[in-house]
Structure 1
Amino acid sequence: MSYKNVEIDLVNMEVDFDVGDEKMDLVGTCNGLVCLGSHSGRLSIVWNPITREFRKYLETEISNSFGPKCLVYWGFGYVSTGDDYKIVRLCMNTSSHSLTVHVYSIRLDTWRVINNDAYDISNMSYPMLIRTSGLFVNGTLYWRLPEAICSFNLESEKLDIFPPHLEVMINTPLSYVTFSNMLFVVNGCLSTYGPCRRGNDHIFTILKSPEVVEQIIVPKDVAGLMPYAGILIGFTRSDKIFTQYSRRRLGVIDLSLHPLNLTPLMKLGGRGVTEAVSYCTSLISPKSLSYKNV
């Protein structure tokens, strides 16, 4: 969907690839490429919707050992140092209470296990209604895990649970990061959206820098229209917020209006769960990203 002022241009992008019996999630976008990952952790796809080119990455040696007690989280991003795209897969084992990291370098065409010793997550609970795709912000992927925020820097390949630079966001005066807060990217900044400490209003908390947080109050009548914790898609250039405020409804919040209000844009068709992300087009070919294709 392209949106300019009040004009909406909706284009249906045909999918040319087959995923068999795999159930796929929309992992994220980067530089015009779209990444999808399967619930099983075996299959990932990098796709350019404009050129209709794609590459499939099937990994079974590690993922066949996951079992029913594993929750799989995906991430996708670009590392300018080394000119590489990386697919990251977190495996949370709810039986052994461990979290392991697997990284696929598209440039080198290899999978690696980053953390063989894993991380102790024995104090976490395991609700299933949680977004499993990581957000890519300034070279780092972020996931909203049960009762924690997890980050993975694609260059250093270091995993952090509740990374220190998020303390200013967690300890803000009006809101705090709880399980009900979801993570988003707003104008290139990591952000959360959730209830205020007091009252029925909700709040956007935007991490402008490691020391600076901006907060935007969303009145309760607008917050009430966003039952999915306000699935935030992104900002327009005129400070309007795209949001998915029900299973298949898209709307926009104009920050220049006071009080804030939510304007419906469209209702999407189809069945099941709808996932929406911001996307910028490019002509990068997924088939030219690894050494083997050069």
Structure 2
Amino acid sequence: MQRPRFELPEALVMEILSKLPVKSLTRFNCVCKYWCSSFQTPHFISNNYHNNLENNNLNLLLSRCDGNTFQPYLSQLSNEKDQNYIVKQNIHLPFFEDDSPSVYGACHGLLCLFDSSKDKAAIWNPSTREFKILPPSSIQRPPYFSPFEETYLTLDDVSFNDAAFGFDSKTDDYKFIRFVTLTFVNSEEEYAHPDFIYQVELYSLRSNSWKEIPYPDYNPNGKTLGNNYVDGICYWKTETGAYLDFRGLILSFDMRNDKFSVLPIPEFVGSFPEYYVDLLVFNGSLGAIVYPLQRIDTSFDLWVTSEGVWTKQFNIKSIPGVVHPLGFGKNGDLFLRDANDEVLVFDASTQELKELEINTYLDHHRFAISLHTYLESLVHINGIQEVEKYVIRQPTRNASNEY
């Protein structure tokens, strides 16, 4: 006698599938048309992302630069402590040639890669392997009339500086913002004194275009650790005053209304010029790692803000030989770089410091080393699948992180 066929309700099937990794869902696209179309709905994409968020399924990328070939690449690390954060694969970025791109985000699993030396940027979903090159800026850069020299100056250089990538929930749009410096000179003078004009350019994924917005009263300075975007707002360090009257500030930009504002850096920092203050995202909130400028053994204070109130999370005392923090991984592990450019990880729960067996002998560009985290996501960006002239993935040869 044939047993009756038991079928689960489609809603329950979709709920179960939404808990699977993106790699599995990509394979299941070919099971049937209904599944394929369901995986592309905003509801399913949101459920899958929030399941990863609840389970803290962080993926780790170490941004690096090959000191021999000068090729930029990303090392994808395991996110399990028992594997000692080994390198699972190296991802090369031929699109950026011999320039090491800055990485912004992640926002809903998307990263923005930006070459600050050129007008070159791309949005990338490392989970679905979708890659979208941003169009060149169409914003006008008109001639500049110098009242001091009483003549029009020639545009000599365009440089791109600090940036951020985030989401505008008001228009359901992903945006990329960058600061631009225009250098003008008098071409008729042999030793011309440069004049600088500043712009802010904002890219919209929805319109696939750029626009200019008013420049704020403050210039961002100093890089952030990994992500500088939290809940619709981007953050940078800035400053005001001379050395003896020096004050650190936080410049913010709201993606929902395209407006800048300024926040004070709290008093816990102490004498600002004597300390490094690195902004970062910690457990979904804006945080700041504070550590002394002059030191032999480095101690770190982590502060996190919630509704404008800063709270000290923990202090790490006297780590010898550490040069710079890189950011946080899973379960509050703090990644660090030492004087020999080796990557270390500090376990806050056990107070243990471990050296990761990650070869950095090719990483002669120490400031190109940075850590980035993202959650898997099915978000579409109207791009193309990774191709070798843009992205090349190479699995590591063995578990000792050789490549």
TM-score (norm 1): 0.76
Confirm whether residue 136 of structure 1 aligns to residue 237 of structure 2: no
Partner of 2:82: 6
Output the amino acid matched with 2:326.
I
Counterparts of 1:73 and 1:247 in 2: how far apart (Å)? 27
Structure 1 counterpart SS, 2:180: strand
Whether the 8 Å CA contact 1:231–1:245 is kept in 2: the answer is no
Counterparts of 1:64 and 1:131 in 2: how far apart (Å)? 26
The answer for unaligned runs of 5 or more in structure 1 is 290-294
Output the amino acid matched with 1:283.
L
Counterparts of 1:28 and 1:63 in 2: how far apart (Å)? 27
Confirm whether residue 182 of structure 1 aligns to residue 278 of structure 2: yes
Within a 5 Å distance, the mapping from 1:121-270 to structure 2 comes to: 121=218, 130-131=222-223, 135-145=228-238, 148-160=249-261, 162-163=262-263, 167=264, 170-172=266-268, 175=270, 178=273, 180-195=276-291, 201-220=299-318, 222=319, 224-228=320-324, 230-232=325-327, 234-237=328-331, 239-245=332-338, 248-257=341-350, 260-269=351-360, 270=362
Choose 191-200 or 140-149, whichever is displaced more. 191-200
Question: Structure 1 residue 137: deviation in Å?
Answer: 1.1
Structure 2 counterpart SS, 1:100: strand
How many residue pairs are counted as aligned between the two chains?
A: 269
Q: Cα RMSD over matched residues?
A: 3.5
For 1:137-156, what per-residue CA distance to the aligned partner results, in whole angstroms no more than 9, with x for missing partners? 12111123465432111111
Within a 5 Å distance, the mapping from 1:86-105 to structure 2 comes to: 86-92=175-181, 99-105=198-204
Question: Structure 1 residue 25: deviation in Å?
Answer: 1.8
Within a 5 Å distance, the mapping from 1:32-71 to structure 2 comes to: 32-62=109-139, 67-68=156-157, 70-71=159-160
Whether the 8 Å CA contact 2:266–2:310 is kept in 1: the answer is no
Out of 64, 83, 93, which is 2:172 matched to?
A: 83
Question: Structure 1 residue 88: deviation in Å?
Answer: 0.6
Question: Structure 1 residue 192: deviation in Å?
Answer: 1.6
Whether the 8 Å CA contact 1:34–1:47 is kept in 2: the answer is yes
Output the amino acid matched with 2:381.
P
| Bigger RCO of structures 1 and 2 (CA < 8 A, at least 6 apart) | 2
Whether the 8 Å CA contact 2:228–2:280 is kept in 1: the answer is yes
Select the structure of larger CA radius of gyration: 2
Out of 274, 284, 288, which is 2:379 matched to?
A: 284
Residues 202 and 274 (structure 1 numbering): CA distance in 2 closer, same or farther, change over 3 Å? Answer: closer
Whether the 8 Å CA contact 1:35–1:76 is kept in 2: the answer is yes
The answer for unaligned runs of 5 or more in structure 2 is 1-76, 143-154, 184-193, 240-247, 385-403
Counterparts of 1:268 and 1:279 in 2: how far apart (Å)? 23
TM-score (norm 2): 0.57
Question: Structure 1 residue 56: deviation in Å?
Answer: 0.4
Question: Structure 1 residue 105: deviation in Å?
Answer: 0.7
Partner of 1:25: 102
Counterparts of 2:340 and 2:311 in 1: how far apart (Å)? 30
Partner of 1:292: none
Counterparts of 2:101 and 2:355 in 1: how far apart (Å)? 28
Question: Structure 1 residue 276: deviation in Å?
Answer: 1.4
**Which has a greater percent of helix?**
2
